[in-house]
Amino acid sequence: MISNFIGGQFRAGSGGKSFPDTNPADGSLIDQVSEASQSDVHDAVQSARAALDGPWGRLTLAQRCDMLHAVADAVDRRADDFIAAEIADTGKPHALASHLDIPRGAANFRVFADVVRNVPTECFTGQAPDGKPVLNYALRRPKGVVAVVCPWNLPLLLMTWKVGPALACGNTVVVKPSEETPATATLLGEVMNQVGVPAGVYNVVHGFGPGSAGEFLTTHPGVDAITFTGETSTGAAIMRASAGGIKPVSMELGGKNPAIVFADANLDVVAAGLARSVFENTGQVCLGTERVYVQRPVFDAVVQRLAETARGLRPGRPTDAATNFGPLVSASHQAKVLGYYQLARDEGARVVCGGGVPAMPDALRGGAWIEPTVWTGLAHGSRTAREEIFGPCCAVIPFDTEAEALTLANDTPYGLAASVYTRDIDRAHRFASKLRVGLVWINAWFVRDLRTPFGGSGQSGLGREGGVHSLEFYTELSNVCIKLEPTDAGAAHA
Ligand code: NAD
Ligand code: 6OD
């Protein structure tokens, strides 16, 4: 049984309810997950509050940061356990889990401990109206108990991306992992206990959204702030539900990200970039590319390179070293993506490659497999080219001029990420400055420096996290103004 983790204890849900955790590669049952009841969620919030006011709140900054480094080291030591759990829950290939998800799960604790340790304090000296000196400085206090609601695509990476800075800033957390991928959040509870993180600092409640742990947590009056990653419509529901409590929210939401390929680009770089941004993690990355705009002289060449990449992907058992393409996360997500594959045909797409379900060996036939798919011939305004699919597919659309490419790229309610391929540095700079997105990669994709601002505009999110920007969300600023009484004339000018 995959348990909740509340106040340092692994606990079955008090309502006695559980739900299955399924391996998407073959449809087999991994384990049952114990669903948290409303009273379990309440206990988790109370435990988080007690730790905040107690042992966690009493640690010095240095002690807290050292402890987060110890958490990171312990995740590294147990990397094989985390990798195995993440692969079973998501179906992602071993190489991806071991190079991206789990190392980032550790790095998120190290980097944010160091950011918080090194951030300077804002300070101004000045004069009061009577001419006496005043000193203003800003203190950062933790927000309090932070609810962390997570998606299934990069479970440990995206959860620790928020838990790391939240704890580094002195908050305590209650995490609601996705119902699809509960395992690594509970495993992290073992690490927290091994390292000696005080009970109640890190809590996990399992369940669903409405009428379950997600809703119980995000509407709980004892929660001080909510950080969410997931679909735009879910983010809107959480904002509505939390509005009464005037809770600060950080929202990392969906996208329909463009790649823009200019004719002067290095097509090997383009092919390598698109191979990752369209197909990595079976297209289930919020930053992934689903719209590829290609300048007409290189259109056919880019389509051909994309199709070659797609045909060369090797679906198979995710634990096999040769596998580089996993299943989708669930049968229901497979049904959604296949619905878009049909819609694309209905909207007049030419299916360059893919478009269905691959033939898999008997042992994997129960999995949520999908073919990587490339379309041309879709109108820019078609639903396929406008709505987030979250699958390994893209619409390739030609353009002639830079101005046209910009209009096409920006014509979306989303605004998360874009990749631009060109060897013209002036154009790259000019174009990047006009894209209405939170993240632009030039001749690259998903290259991350955790000190940089991360987030989306429009329907892709609210706020920025990363580096010191995370501190803006996870701390409350208090300004302290001290009026000084100088004892001699020289000090008045201090
Ligand atoms: P989702 O919105 O369906 O679920 C996310 C989490 O919210 C889950 O834990 C779910 O149980 C919970 N939830 C659902 N309804 C809720 C409610 N009413 N109240 C409280 N909690 C609720 O998202 P998903 O399907 O897990 O993830 C895929 C989506 O996430 C895609 O849209 C993707 O673009 C987005 N995403 C965005 C980013 C980013 O950084 N911008 C990163 C990863 C994923
Ligand atoms: O790299 C990150 O910090 C991050 N938040 C990535 C999000 C990926 C979305 O699927």
The mean pLDDT of 434-460, rounded to a whole number, is 98
Q: Could you tell me which residues are beta bridge partners of residue 9?
A: 6
Fold of 4-253+456-480: Aldehyde Dehydrogenase; Chain A, domain 1 (3.40.605)
Please, which residues have CB within 8 angstroms of residue 341's CB and are 6 or more apart in sequence?
354, 355, 356, 373, 393
**What does the alpha-carbon distance between residue 321 and residue 405 come to, in Å, rounded to a whole number?**
39
Domain 4-253+456-480 identical in fold to domain 257-442: no
**What does the alpha-carbon distance between residue 370 and residue 91 come to, in Å, rounded to a whole number?**
12
The residue whose C-alpha atom lies closest to atom 8 belonging to ligand 1 is 178
The mean pLDDT of 446-464, rounded to a whole number, is 97
- Pocket probe for ligand 2: among 109, 152, 161, 414, the residue whose CB has the most ligand atoms within 8 Å is 161
- Per-chain mean pLDDT for the chain: 97
Q: What is the model's pLDDT at position 486?
A: 84
Q: What is the model's pLDDT at position 493?
A: 52
pLDDT reading at 98 higher than 90: yes
The mean pLDDT of 87-115, rounded to a whole number, is 98
pLDDT reading at 19 higher than 70: yes
How would residue 359 be classed by pLDDT, with cut points 50, 70 and 90? very high
Contacts 24+ apart (CB under 8 A), 349-358: 349/375, 349/376, 349/377, 349/378, 349/382, 349/384, 349/395, 350/375, 350/376, 350/377, 351/375, 352/303, 352/306, 352/307, 352/376, 352/396, 353/307, 353/310, 353/311, 354/310, 354/392, 354/393, 358/315
Catalytic residue among 65, 150, 169, 286: 286
Q: From the CB of 153, is ligand 1 less than 6 Å away?
A: yes
% pLDDT > 90, the chain: 98
CA–centroid distance, residue 415 to ligand 2 (Å): 14
The mean pLDDT of 375-404, rounded to a whole number, is 98
The mean pLDDT of 335-359, rounded to a whole number, is 98
Report the predicted TM-score, pTM, of the whole model to 2 decimal places. 0.96
Fold of 257-442: Aldehyde Dehydrogenase; Chain A, domain 2 (3.40.309)
286 an active-site residue?
yes
- Pocket probe for ligand 2: among 101, 157, 470, the residue whose CB has the most ligand atoms within 8 Å is 157
CA–centroid distance, residue 119 to ligand 1 (Å): 31
CA–centroid distance, residue 163 to ligand 2 (Å): 14
Q: From the CB of 150, is ligand 1 less than 6 Å away?
A: yes
The mean pLDDT of 334-359, rounded to a whole number, is 98
- Pocket probe for ligand 1: among 226, 234, 284, the residue whose CB has the most ligand atoms within 8 Å is 234
Please, which residues have CB within 8 angstroms of residue 365's CB and are 6 or more apart in sequence?
26
**What are the structural domain ranges in the chain?**
4-253+456-480, 257-442
% pLDDT > 70, the chain: 99
pLDDT reading at 144 higher than 60: yes
The mean pLDDT of 392-411, rounded to a whole number, is 98
